[in-house]
Amino acid sequence: MPPWSCRVLPLLAVATFACGSPAAPSSNPALTQTVESAHFTFHFTSGDSVDSTWQEQFHEWAVRQLDVTPTRKITYNKYQSRAHMGQVIGVSNTNGFADPNSFTVNTIWPTDNHETVHLYTSTFANPGPVALFNEGIAVAHQVNPAANDFIPRWSGTPLDDIARSARQSGTLPALSTIIETTGFRAIDSNVAYPIAGSFVRYVLDRFGLAPVKEFFRRGTPNDPAETVRTQFLAVFGVTFDRAEQDWLAHLSGV
């Protein structure tokens, strides 16, 4: 699986603000077109396009939110579809993925907030913690600064609304079941990702960025639940289970 892969996401999950369906792959799949902006080098096919202005606006917002200063440009490879991505790089089971080591985003979307956040967080934690937090922080920043919309969404729906709805319907998973990356990856991404985003957004708002960064630095993707719990308590001063209970109370408006 590629680094930071969102391998099973539906077409509108990775870049919430992309509109329409990707075009069919061209007979020549090479990414022959290049556009340079202040912080990105975009590659795409003839007849396709990217939205460099939107991406730069998101970049300026996100690096302030995460208090990071990337020292190199992001390479942004835009494909026409999953099939096209498979033609070019042999990966066709995902809408997009980030490779922190090459500071590259591979995506089917003309804009991508989710995968770029993975690159930003890699500047202070690579590989970072378990998927609940690594994917959660990316989803928690799925906003649209260009439209002055700073509510994180999943396929257009606010994350907390998704979590509340799942709780009301009895389908909200206990965070203990997805605290390990294997458990997180085992359930429907349309459940795991927005739930993780809602929880991590709550943690960020409650505890602030500095301890979240410290927690990320201490973790690895394959940490067992016991290690995650120990690190969470050490960094945030409350147990993981207590934080989950407080998050649920927050969803209830208590």
pLDDT tens readout for residues 199-248 = 999 999 999 999 999 999 999 999 999 999 999 999 999 999 999 999 99
Mean pLDDT, all residues of the chain: 91
Instruction: Determine whether 54 is exposed, middle or buried from the number of CB atoms within 10 Å of its CB (0-12, 13-18, 19+).
Output: buried
Task: Quote the tokens at residue 148.
Answer: 């002055």
Q: Domains plus CATH for the chain?
A: 33-122 (3.40.30.160), 131-252 (no CATH)
Q: Which residue has the tokens 């089971």?
A: 93
pLDDT in tens, 55-101: 999 999 999 999 999 999 999 999 999 999 999 999 999 999 999 99
Contacts of 63 (CB under 8 A, 6+ apart): 69, 70, 120
Predicted TM-score (pTM) of this structure:
0.90
Q: Do the Cβ atoms of 179 and 230 come closer than 8 Å?
A: no
Q: How far apart are CA 15 and CA 139, in angstroms?
A: 10
Q: How far apart are CA 196 and CA 188, in angstroms?
A: 12
175, 107, 178, 113: which is closest to 139 by C-alpha?
A: 113
